[in-house]
Structures are given as C-alpha cells and as structure tokens.
C-alpha cells in the first residue's frame, strides 16, 4: 500500500472515531418528549408584569415538574423554562421560575425576571393545562419593555449520569422556538 493511501485511510478512521468525542453534548441530542401549543403571545410594555406567553401542554411522555433552579431537583421529571431575549444583536437569558419560587431574594439563588403561573398550582404542568409565562413585577425589571424577539426552550435538568435530556416543544423537530413579543 502506498504511504499516501495508508495515511488517508488512517486519517479517515481517526476522524470518524473522534467525531463522537467532539460532539458538544456527548453524543446525546435533546429529544422532544412533550408538545405544547402557544395560545397567546404577549404585548411588550414598560410595565414589569406583562404576559409573555400562554402555553397549553398537548402531550407528554413525562410529568413536567417545575424546577426551583437550585439544582436540588435534577432529574428527567424537572424542567427549566429558559427565555433567551434577542435584541440588537445581543442576547440575555431569563430562567422562568414557578410563581412560588420567583419572589425568593436573588441572594438565595431563585429570583427571576420571569415567572410561571399555573392554574392548578400543583407544580406539575399537566396535559390540557394552560400556564402563563409572565414578567415578575417583584424583579423590578421587565423581559421585554418594547417589541422584542424571545427564544423559548423547555428542557429537563438531567445530570451527567442520566440518559439524553428531553424537551417540550411545539413540534418534534425543534427544541428552541422563536416568538415575537409585540
């Protein structure tokens, strides 16, 4: 075998073996384990209590439990609701907390500019239940004070020893969904 052909074969084998090692999430891609519909897209004002989105859970493979953001509830049944605000080329993340957790002081690690309000207040987003993602008036700052674009991602908080994470989305293909808040 010619040296060039040998080295080319060696490089191709090495690259295929390394491709799994270099994957950003360890080869585990986020899968959609639940579907929701966006019932209402909010209106941005300078007030700090604007409704951002109203969402109804259509189906789910797991109970969708709200995490308190402290990390003590990691596992496939606890989900984080993350809003990424995109404005003038810059991005800012906002984790939405359950309304019972959203007013905890920031020094305790749970304050949030976005809160999740549910009708049952049982800390589980059940199939058929509509929840509201709303700016937290107690945070003193809004998410969208004027028209803005937000990207919503609802994924569980599995730890490194669990299987690949699951997410709740509007379809089975995309995990992050973009909304225009007017």
How do residues 42-71 score in pLDDT, each as one tens digit? 999 998 889 999 999 999 988 899 876 666
Q: Are the C-beta atoms of residues 103 and 138 closer than 8 Å to each other?
A: yes
Please check whether residue 5 lies inside any domain of the structure. no
Side-chain-side CA neighbours of 22 within 13 Å: the count stands at 6
Please check whether residue 151 lies inside any domain of the structure. yes
Res. 21 pLDDT band, cuts 50 70 90: very low
Examine the pLDDT at 160 and tell me if it is beyond 80.
Answer: no
First to last CA, the chain: 65
Examine the pLDDT at 113 and tell me if it is beyond 70.
Answer: yes
Res. 81 pLDDT band, cuts 50 70 90: very high
Domain total of the chain: 1
Please check whether residue 6 lies inside any domain of the structure. no
Examine the pLDDT at 163 and tell me if it is beyond 80.
Answer: no
| Domain extent at residue 148 | 30-181
What's the pLDDT score for residue 167? 93
Please check whether residue 14 lies inside any domain of the structure. no
Buried b (16+ CB within 10 A) or exposed e, 115-134: bbbbeeeebebeeebbbbbb
Please check whether residue 125 lies inside any domain of the structure. yes
| CATH number (domain holding residue 98) | 2.60.40
Please check whether residue 4 lies inside any domain of the structure. no
Buried b (16+ CB within 10 A) or exposed e, 158-173: beeeeeebbbbbeeee
Please check whether residue 17 lies inside any domain of the structure. no
Higher pLDDT pick, 61 / 25 = 61
Please check whether residue 133 lies inside any domain of the structure. yes
């Amino acid at each position: 075998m010619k040296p060039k052909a040998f080295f080319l074969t060696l490089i191709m084998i090495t690259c295929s073996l390394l491709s799994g090692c270099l994957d950003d999430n360890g080869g585990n891609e986020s899968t959609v384990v639940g579907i929701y519909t966006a019932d209402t897209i909010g209106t941005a004002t300078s007030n700090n209590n604007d409704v951002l989105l109203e969402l109804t859970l259509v189906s789910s493979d797991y109970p969708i439990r709200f995490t308190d953001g402290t990390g003590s509830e990691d596992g496939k049944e606890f989900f984080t609701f993350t809003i990424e605000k995109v404005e003038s080329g810059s991005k800012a993340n906002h984790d939405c907390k359950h309304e019972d957790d959203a007013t905890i002081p920031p020094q305790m690690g749970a304050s949030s500019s976005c809160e999740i309000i549910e009708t049952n207040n049982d800390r589980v987003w059940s199939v058929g239940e509509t929840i509201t993602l709303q700016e937290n008036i107690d945070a003193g700052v809004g998410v969208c004070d004027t028209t803005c674009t937000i990207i919503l991602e609802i994924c569980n908080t599995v730890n490194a020893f669990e299987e690949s994470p699951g997410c709740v989305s509007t379809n089975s293909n995309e995990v992050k969904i973009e909304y225009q808040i007017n």
